[in-house]
Structure 1
Amino acid sequence: MKKRILLLLGIVSVFLLLAGCTEINKPINAESTGFWNEYIVYPLSWVIVKGAEILGGSFGLSLIVVTILIRLAILPLMIKQTRSSKAMQALQPEMKALREKYSSKDQKTQQKLQQETMALFQKHGVNPMAGCFPLIVQMPILIGFYHAISRTREIADHSFLWFDLGDKDPFYILPIIAGITTFIQQKLMMAGQEHNPQMAMMLWMMPIMIVIFAFNFPAALSLYWVVGNLFMIVQTYFIKGPDLRKVQESGKAGGAKK
């Protein structure tokens, strides 16, 4: 779990570095050179602009449609993440037993705990890092959106609902919704694992980080994150529906006993 947190922080650091230091003031167009511009930023810019032309000139609607298309494209990876989460949830009793067996904090015992835990993962074919892969894939897309929006004037200058796509949300409504939907999505993914202190920390850390970023970046990125989260919430509910109902019922039963 510590590795997942460190990986998350590393990805965030790369996001901040690229967002702040990569030709952000240079307009993007078909003549832009470099792998990043040619294969990430310009294609996203082009798709958003063409989508707006089809949707009556609304860049906001175009962003929503493009976000859904991207989510559909990475859906197999997200399903794998959800299944990995279910597998991890199923292993919680055995992992708890291992932690109790090797409860001593000395280095030798902790190394033995790690070895036994990895052996447990291998036995059941579980990859504990699988949950990070979708985040790794999404970060370049998110950074690409940032550059496509900021470096394409017709997108950045366009208004949608109550905000300008290229500016911060003046009322901070989208950042707050982004944080709430991130929390809900994380809660569904981690159903049954909340008792784990490290998982509980992740449950709160991601939404807080998203809100902080959303406060400081264009509202279009918050729109992308909110739409993506809503997609994930629906997807997770349908994939983990029976398990979620079991967790809810066990929670109610536990509450009744108290």
Structure 2
Amino acid sequence: MDALSNWLGGSGNSYGWAIILITFIVRLVLMPVMLSQLKKSTIQQEKLGSIRPQLNDIQKRQKEAKTPEERAQISQEMMALYKENNISMTGGIGCLPLLIQMPIFAALYAAIQYSELLSKSTFYGINLGQRSFTFVILTFLIYALQGWLSLQGVSEEQKKQMSSMMIVSPVMLAFMTYISPAGLGLYFFVGGIFACIQTLLINIMRPRIRANIEAELKAKPAKTVIAKESQPTVVKQPAKASAPKTHNRKRNAGKQRHKHK
């Protein structure tokens, strides 16, 4: 980090620009992977629309299920619906980009903690070694923008499902920025700018992805998974003891008396 700062001129803002350059390099390297995952996620979202009526019916019956056996059977039916239509239950989202970035988070945090020059350096008046409310606000806003961009071009039903993430993701990243030094906050903020760019690229690709999915569904319509009727359980009751046949006994006794006569 010191060498990169010196290469950038060694001025008061050089450490901040060094963090931006590192972020730029990391996100540029990760962009093909992240775009691929975003594309897969978009394909899964479009495919999900084709099984939405069946999925709604399954979810409704799952809420109305009264026994664990019924809930387990309906859960298996949902898994079969996803499997038969080649749809991932995770939405095609992987954690590889986050795992790759974890060493970068750790290295930046260690550099800020243990490098005296970096911990005391400033970036346009913001101390990179201390908490910065400016970056907390900027991080929240940039990821809120990214969430809003991700809702463009999707159906109203998908918007309802994705709208919760539009709030959760910016709040979570703003909190991470709040508990971190401003150097990491700068990393999160610049990463958010790249996330917006990636989302814009996916939005440009979405119409073509949708057209491909529609053509695929015309050639091979979504499969219907029919639930098996749950057979009612017959509980065998213990046989009741037969009541003494008083009438027959009386008839037999009459016959015996008639014989003796």
> TM-score when scaled to structure 2?
0.66
Q: 1:129 to 1:144 in 2, by over 3 A?
A: farther
Match of 2:81 among 116, 119, 122: 116
Measured after TM superposition, the shift of residue 242 of structure 1 is: 5.0
Deviation at 1:190, TM superposition (A): 4.7
Distance in structure 2 (CA, Å) of the matches to 1:54 and 1:129: 40
| Contact in 2 for aligned 1:86/1:240 (Cα 8 Å) | no
Are 1:175 and 1:222, in contact at CA under 8 Å, matched by a contact in 2? yes
1:231 paired with 2:194, answer yes
Residue 205 of structure 1: how far off its partner (Å): 0.9
The AA in structure 1 aligned to 2:15 is F
Shift of 1:153: 1.6
Q: Which residue of 1 aligns with 2:164?
A: 201
Measure how far apart 1:94 and its partner are. Answer: 1.7
Cα separation, 2, equivalents of 1:147 and 1:194: 44
2:98 matches 1:135: yes
| Structure 2 counterpart of 1:56 | 9
- 1:138 and 1:186 mapped to 2: Cα distance? 20
Q: Which runs of 5+ in 2 are unaligned?
A: 66-70, 211-261
Q: Which position in structure 2 is the counterpart of 1:99?
A: 55
- The answer for the alignment partner of 1:19 in structure 2 is none
Do the aligned partners of 1:121 and 1:128 also contact (CA within 8 Å) in 2?
Answer: no
- Is contact 1:82-1:189 (8 Å) kept? no
Task: Pick closer, same or farther for the CA change 1:119–1:186 going to 2, 3 Å.
Answer: farther
| Distance in 2 between residues matched to 1:63 and 1:84, nearest whole Å | 30
Q: Matches of 2:129 and 2:41 in 1, distance apart?
A: 35
Deviations along 1:101-132, whole A, 9 cap, x unmatched?
3231131223211221233235xx89624343
Q: Which amino acid aligns with 1:120?
A: N
* Structure 2 residue 145 is matched with structure 1 residue 180: no
How many angstroms does 1:193 deviate by? 6.0
Runs of 4+ in 1 over 6 A off after TM superposition: none
Counterpart of 1:132, as a letter, is C
2:139 and 2:189 in contact (8 A); partners too: yes
* Alignment partners' CA distance in 2, 1:194 and 1:147: 44
Read off the aligned partner of 1:87 and give its amino acid letter. I
The verdict on how the C-alpha distance between 1:190 and 1:49 changes in structure 2, with shifts beyond 3 A counting, is farther
> Whose helix proportion is higher, 1 or 2?
1
- Residues 1:126 and 1:209: Cα distance change in structure 2 (over 3 Å): closer
Q: Is the 8 A contact 1:84 1:126 kept in 2?
A: no
Deviation, 1:149, is: 1.8
Does the C-alpha gap of structure 1 residues 220 and 195 become closer, same or farther in structure 2, counting only changes over 3 Å?
farther
Q: What is the RMSD computed on CA atoms of the aligned residues?
A: 2.7
Match of 1:168, SS? Answer: coil
Percent of residue pairs identical = 25
Report the structure number with the largest CA radius of gyration: 2
Structure 1 pair 206/82, CA: closer, same or farther in 2 (3 Å)?
Answer: same
Q: Give the Cα–Cα distance (whole angstroms) in 1 for the partners of residues 97 and 86 of structure 2.
A: 20
Q: In 2, distance between residues paired with 1:156 and 1:139?
A: 20
Unaligned runs of 5+ in 1: 1-47, 248-258
Aligned to 1:87: 43
- Cα distance in structure 2, aligned partners of 1:194 and 1:162: 44
> Is 2:15–2:123's contact at 8 Å kept on the other side of the alignment?
yes
- Distance (Å, rounded) in 2 between the aligned partners of 1:143 and 1:193: 39
The aligned counterpart of 2:22 is 66
Q: Label 1:202 to 1:121 Cα distance change in 2 as closer, same or farther (>3 A).
A: farther
SS at match of 2:95: helix
Residue 73 to residue 206, structure 1, CA distance change in 2 (3 Å): same
Q: 2:109 aligns with which of 146, 150, 159?
A: 146
